[in-house]
Amino acid sequence: MSKSSVISGFYKLSPKERLAIVKNFANLTVEEANLLQESCSLPMYVTDHMIENVIGVFPEPMGIGVNFLINGKDYLIPMATEEPSVIAAASYAAKMVRDGGGFYTSSTTPVMTGQIQVVKLKEANRAKEQVLAAKAEILKNANDQDPVLNSFGGGAKDLDARVIETSMGQMLIVHLYVDCRDAMGANAVNTMTEAVAPVIEQLTGGHVYLRIISNLATKRLVKAWCRVPKEGLGGEAVVDGIAYASAFAAADPYRAATHNKGVMNGIIAVVLATGNDHRAIEAGAHAYAALNGQYTSISKWTKNDNGDLEGSIEMPMAVGLIGGAVKTHPIARIALKILNVKSSNEFGEVLAAVGLAQNLGALRALASEGIQRGHMALHARNIAVIAGAKDGQIDVVAELLVKERRVRVDRAKEILENLNKK
């Protein structure tokens, strides 16, 4: 029987109780569950091989987004973030979307773009024709670099060339399109671009400098969409508020930056938890948002004829299930097991749904009571800890701070002093 991601009162349970539920949902082994609980640290022999000059680890809390129904499948979403209210908002939004049938998603084949920059050309347009005429030879050369990727049906599939005008004259930019299957693909693509560079130099008589993947992955796009019944949002006025917020973000780059930041709050938390390259995803998202010349929002919300809310998102999503920290980081491996995605496409589509949920959570609050009420309720717990509250004191102090609407460290210290006197 399939398991549901709706876990009533999940937030009220202790971390141990939550972990027991996730262990059962994701069929984690006892060792994996223990590792999650004790994961304040990673073994030095692991970290020392991941990056350079290692001196320790930087732990970040990892929580679970619940209620996600995507293409009829239930998901528990591992999210690593330092920001309170992100996971609560995503879970709350996923519940509202669930009541409208859940998220639906799609994606392109996982094709990344590699760039080869050719300069010092006598005739850039002629060089372009020479490169295009030698397409088969260049692609073969690229594919010779990665027989494993080829054996999985991936590899360099196509190429293109453009002449661009720059402050240092004309350049020929060759784009190599590589199907990366379940890898993020940076290594495969960079190896291929470096390998074909001498062939391109020979063909064109130019000089190649840069040979590198582009993070504007316009050939590796994911989409998600959903319908949210107006009742769950608190009525048609909130639906209108969200539609107005969407129109605002579409028209104004100052708002679009914050709107997209809200989307990325969710996406990056999952990307981090799974050991993927979050800078690549962030760069791709914002570049895509500016592709038509003006920076705009990557998601849209409108009211349908029934008065319900409809939302959609489209963005590049270069994530992988193999390679890099995804395989070496023990917690990332467990996070991926919890997520239970079978391909990089499914993974990317889940991320699009999480981004849309996160965006909805923020916009619903912004279009109604504002974000500070919910945010402060969660932030108050942080303030209580900063003031020195321990265990049972944390909730007592936090509740009083919120009640008094004075979520400040000085007030938390006063409350603690009073408590300690008793």
Q: Which residues are catalytic?
A: 83, 261, 277, 375
Distances (CA, A) of 230 to 60, 122, 263, 355: 36, 62, 21, 20
Residues 228 and 307: their CA atoms lie apart, in Å, by: 10
Region near ligand MEV per CB under 6 A, out of 36-44, 74-82, 253-261, 275-283: 253-261
Using CB under 6 A as the binding rule, whether residue 259 contacts ligand MEV is answered as: yes
Task: Compute the least distance from the CB of residue 60 to ligand MEV, in Å.
Answer: 16
| Cβ at position 6, least distance to ligand MEV in Å | 25
258 touches ligand MEV (CB under 6 A): yes
The answer to the question of residue 364 lying near ligand MEV (CB under 6 A) is no
φ, ψ of residue 404 in degrees (nearest 5): -80, -10
Can you read off the two tokens belonging to residue 391? 């265990």
372 part of the interface to ligand MEV, by CB under 6 A = no
The CB-of-252 to ligand MEV minimum distance in angstroms stands at 12
Region binding ligand MEV by CB under 6 A among candidate stretches 63-71, 140-148, 216-224, 259-267: 259-267
Q: List the structure tokens of 263.
A: 């989307």
CB of 363 to ligand MEV, least distance (A): 6
Decide: is 371 part of the binding site for ligand MEV (CB under 6 A). yes
Total interface residues for ligand MEV by CB under 6 A: 10
* Adjacency order of strands within the sheet including 299-303: 104-107, 221-228, 309-316, 299-303
Please calculate the CA angle 400-404-407 and round it to the nearest 5 degrees: 75
Nearest to 128 by CA among 214, 199, 204: 204
* Residues near 262 by beta carbon (within 8 Å), at least 6 away in sequence: 358, 359, 361, 362, 363
**What is the smallest separation between the CB atom of 245 and ligand MEV, expressed in angstroms?**
7
Give the residue with the Cβ less far from ligand MEV, 181 or 375. Answer: 375
Least distance (Å) from ligand MEV to the CB of residue 122? 51
Pairing relation of β-strands 207-214 and 111-119?
antiparallel
Q: What is the DSSP string of 107-128?
A: E---EEEEEEEEES-S-HHHHH
Instruction: Return the number of the residue (253 or 330) whose C-beta is nearest ligand MEV.
Output: 253
Tell me, residue by residue from 68 to 87, as one string, x for binding to ligand MEV by CB under 6 A and - for no binding: ---------------x----
Interface with ligand MEV by CB under 6 A: which range of 3-11, 59-67, 321-329, 358-366?
Answer: 358-366
CB of 102 to ligand MEV, least distance (A): 22
Compute the distance between CA of residue 162 and CA of residue 214 in angstroms, rounded to an integer. 15
Residue whose CB is nearest to ligand MEV in the complex, by number:
262
State which of residues 73, 120, 175, 261 lies at the interface with ligand MEV (CB under 6 A).
261
Report the residue number, 253 or 324, with the smaller CB distance to ligand MEV: 253
Give the one residue of 154, 185, 262, 266 binding ligand MEV; rule: CB under 6 A: 262
The single residue among 362, 367, 400, 416 that binds ligand MEV, judged by CB under 6 A, is 362
Evaluate whether 4 touches 67 at the Cβ level (below 8 Å).
Answer: no
Calpha distance 201→83 (Å, rounded): 49
Classify 364 in phi/psi space as left (phi over 0), alpha (psi -120 to 50) or beta: alpha
Q: Which residues bind ligand MEV (CB under 6 A)?
A: 83, 258-259, 261-262, 265, 362-363, 366, 371
